[in-house]
Each structure stands twice: as structure tokens, then as C-alpha cells.
Amino acid sequence: QSRASVAHLMAALSGIDNLGNARLKLQLQANLGQSHSAGGDYVQATQWLDKALADLAAAKPGGMEAGWAYALACRGFLFADQGD
């Protein structure tokens, strides 16, 4: 099931730059991390969540708090799933 999720998210991400919607791009990156984590692919999950967090940190301040909290929560669940 996570493979279908990842495929749909990757398709959405592939066209997002044309829309110029930075918030949606960051959300899709975090969602990809969460989907990979749910599927047990912790390496990909870490890479996508780290990318989302780095891009969130570099984004203009304001309005990204929910995305930041979501990505951090997903990162926390990723650590928990791995026993950390």
C-alpha cells in the first residue's frame, strides 16, 4: 500500500514546480517521508523528511509552522519505529 502512496506522491511532486506552490511542495516531501516510513523504507523516509525539514528551515518565516510540526512528528515516529 505504501508503494501506491509513494507513486502518487511522486507524480504530484513531479509537477509541483510548475505551480510555484512552495507550501504544497514541502508538504509532499514530508508526506513522502511518512509514506516511506510506513512502508519500512527508513533510508528513503529519512532522506525525504530531512529534505522537508531543511527546505522548511530555509523557507520564508511565517505560515510554515504546521508543516514544521508535521515533519518533526513524522521524524519522531520514524525514530520510534526503529527503536530509538
Q: What is the DSSP string of 8-71?
A: HHHHHHHTHHHHT-HHHHHHHHHHHHHHHHHTT-HHHHHHHHHHHHHHHHHSPSSS-HHHHHHH
**What pLDDT is recorded for position 8?**
94
pLDDT by residue, tens only, the chain of 84 residues: 678 999 999 999 998 888 888 888 999 999 999 999 999 999 999 999 999 999 888 887 777 788 888 899 999 999 998 887
Contact present, 10 and 44 (Cβ < 8 Å): no
For residue 1, the model assigns a pLDDT of 61
> What's the pLDDT score for residue 15?
86
Enter the DSSP assignment of 1.
-
The confidence score (pLDDT) of residue 44 equals 96
